[in-house]
Structure 1
Amino acid sequence: MPELPEVETVKRGLAPAMEGALIARLELRRKDLRFPFPDALADRVSGRTIIGLGRRAKYLLVDLDDGNTLISHLGMSGSFRIEENSVSATPGEFHHARSKDEKHDHVVFHLQGPDGARRVIYNDPRRFGFMDMVGRADLAAHPFFRDLGPEPTGNELGAAYLAERFRDKAQPLKSALLDQKNIAGLGNIYVCEALWRAHLSPLRAAGTLVTPGGRPKHELDLLVASIRDVIADAIAAGGSSLRDHIQADGSLGYFQHSFSVYDREGEACGTPGCGGTVARVVQAGRSTFYCAACQK
């Protein structure tokens, strides 16, 4: 599943094509994706102007001029494709190749902008993605968002906040970081990378980063800084996956070539002077990559 930096890259790639454009028509080619489309979605969206694109966790948000927000999640195989003047561009490319097979084109935005017409197409072979509509004022209370923790790049995320969440927790640190109620949008790849940067074991109990009095230990400060840094680096590189991530303009993001532990089982740890080897274990059904020698 695409992680936060990839979704952010898709948002930024779509923004020039969608922001300020009139949705002349929304074409739904089936009744559902993972879930049924909202009632009368095509009628409610057609004729509206897109005033902005946003992101919350791994959700794309399309703000309309009538006060509603269209919510989109890419699922496992979903992607958007921009078609204009017979030229097609896909903002974002992930670990699993994104389909351009037209039989999987399920949603088509027919847009009219100041510089002409274009189509933005949602393609999803496995149909694990979904779309919903909600009033912007009610967004925070929507079931998708009401229990989400702060963004990993936002000011709300700090060591004191995580100390409150982790206090007395025996839960493994990696599992605690993947819990979307603690931090929104963190996924497997970037949790592994952040823990390596902070030299913290993914197997360690989350509560050990908090003093008996409930204050964050210095290690928790380092972890927060590592989370911020790894996400910022990935976004700056244009998102990443296990292979080259292609942005809407065709340029490449190379953060994936800087992965220090993810998918590097058996390789030497990159920590200077460590001498350890990257290992792989399975936690809650997901692969965890870390160095037991320097991550304590």
Structure 2
Amino acid sequence: MPELPEVETVRRGLAPVMEGRRILNVDARRPDLRFPFPERFAARLKDRTVTSLGRRAKYLLADLDDGEVLVMHLGMSGSFRILLPEAEVAPGAFHHPRSKAATHDHVEFAFEGGATVTYNDPRRFGFMTLSPRATLEAHPLFRHVGIEPLGNALDGALLLRLFGAKQTSLKAALLDQRLIAGLGNIYVCEALHRAKLSPTRAAGTLTIRKANLLAEAIRTVLEEAIAAGGSTLRDFAHADGALGYFQHSFRVYDREGEPCPTPGCRGVVQRIVQTGRSTFFCAQCQK
């Protein structure tokens, strides 16, 4: 599943095409994705103007001029393709390849000015819905979503309050979307390595010093990943998002058996399974 940096990169790629533009037409080529489209989905979007394109956790939020919000989630395999009069672009840089097969083009948005944005999703685990902006935070999708990891609120003191005396593993606590929104497996592994914290350590055992290091690592790894993914947007020739992808900077994720990159560490990157997901870490320097 795309993680927060990938979703933020997609948002930044779509924003110049969608923001301030009127939707001329919506072609929903099936009645559902993961869930059925809301009633009169295409008709409710037609002739609406996208006033802003934001992100909450891993959701894209297109605010419309009538007070509704188009909520979009990429699921496991979803992606957007932008067709401009002069070029075709696929915003975002993903760890797993995105489909370009037209048979999986499920929703097409036509915007004034000639741009079209097509949503492609082979596995159809993504979804789209509409919700009034005024009640969005009370919507079942967002009611229990935690803090944004890139917001100013994230610091060591907040992590200590969130984790309390939890005996669950640090990895599991960081993946709990009710605590911190949008953190996924890849970047949790990377942040824990940078903070030199074991993924198996009990979340409630952090000191304020360790918590501050972890908060800083989370922010840094996400910002670096967004910056790397964002570099793809400056070169329309690389429509597959290959340019500048952050996977080339992974320290531990998917690097089982390789030497630990921490200077002076003689450990080797290991792989274990926690709550059904692969965890990559160095037992030598992560305590």
Length-normalised TM-score, structure 2: 0.95
Contact 1:194 1:223 in 2 (8 A): yes
Letter in 2 for 1:48: R
Map 1:75-224; keep pairs closer than 5 Å: 75-85=75-85, 87-112=87-112, 116-209=113-206, 216-224=207-215
Unaligned runs of 5+ residues in structure 1 are: 210-215, 240-244
Count of residue correspondences: 282
Say what the alpha-carbon RMSD is for the aligned residues.
1.4
CA separation of 1:86 and 1:236: change in aligned 2, threshold 3 A: closer
In structure 2, what is the Cα distance between the partners aligned to 1:294 and 1:97? Answer: 32
In structure 2, what is the Cα distance between the partners aligned to 1:136 and 1:253? Answer: 35
Residue 30 of structure 1: aligned partner: 30
Partner of 2:69, secondary structure, is strand
Identity of aligned residues (%): 63
Letter in 2 for 1:255: F
Unaligned runs of 5+ residues in structure 2 are: none
Moved more, 97-106 or 59-68: 97-106
In structure 2, what is the Cα distance between the partners aligned to 1:118 and 1:198? Answer: 43
Moved more, 180-189 or 82-91: 82-91
Contact 2:193 2:282 in 1 (8 A): yes
2:225 to 227, 234, 237: 234
In structure 2, what is the Cα distance between the partners aligned to 1:248 and 1:33? Answer: 31
Q: What whole-Å deviation, never above 9, does each CA across 1:235-270 have from its counterpart, x for those lacking one?
A: 11126xxxxx94374362242211111111111111
Partner of 2:115, secondary structure, is strand
Letter in 2 for 1:108: E
Contact 1:77 1:129 in 2 (8 A): yes
Contact 1:278 1:291 in 2 (8 A): yes
Following superposition, the deviation at residue 93 of structure 1 comes to 3.4
Q: What whole-Å deviation, never above 9, does each CA across 1:34-78 have from its counterpart, x for those lacking one?
A: 000001111111010111100001001111111110000000111
In structure 2, what is the Cα distance between the partners aligned to 1:149 and 1:64? Answer: 24
Residue 293 of structure 1: aligned partner: 284
In structure 1, what is the Cα distance between the partners aligned to 2:124 and 2:155? Answer: 36
Following superposition, the deviation at residue 86 of structure 1 comes to 6.5
For the pair 1:270 / 2:248, whether they are aligned, the reply is no
Length-normalised TM-score, structure 1: 0.92
For the pair 1:43 / 2:39, whether they are aligned, the reply is no
